[in-house]
């Protein structure tokens, strides 16, 4: 909310995702499929 020219930011803790090597490789392989973009795969896996 903005008041008197100041904006209040609320910090939300986020957990860092850790992917196994096997999971990363599966995602990487998906990006090599025809018609699939890196952006599409990244969005799917959050």
Is the pTM for the entire model greater than 0.75? Answer: no
**CB atoms closer than 10 angstroms to residue 37:** 11
Please list the alpha-helical segments (H only) found in the chain: 21-31, 38-44
Higher per-residue pLDDT: 30 or 17 = 30
Structural domain including 43 reads 17-46
In a domain, 42, yes or no: yes
Query: What are 6-23's pLDDT values in tens digits?
Result: 888 787 777 777 889 999
In a domain, 28, yes or no: yes
Tokens of 4: 């008197």
Place of tokens 């910090």: 11
CB of 32 closer than 8 Å to CB of 14: no
Q: Is the pLDDT of residue 30 over 60?
A: yes
Q: What is the pLDDT of residue 8?
A: 84
Residue 25 phi/psi, 5° resolution? -65, -40
**Residue 3 pLDDT grade (very low, low, confident, very high; cuts 50, 70, 90):** low
In a domain, 35, yes or no: yes
Number of domain units in the chain: 1
């Amino acid at each position: 909310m903005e008041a008197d020219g100041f904006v209040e930011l609320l910090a939300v803790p986020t957990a860092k995702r850790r992917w196994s090597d096997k999971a990363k490789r599966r995602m990487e392989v998906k990006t090599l499929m025809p018609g699939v973009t890196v952006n599409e795969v990244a969005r799917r896996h959050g």
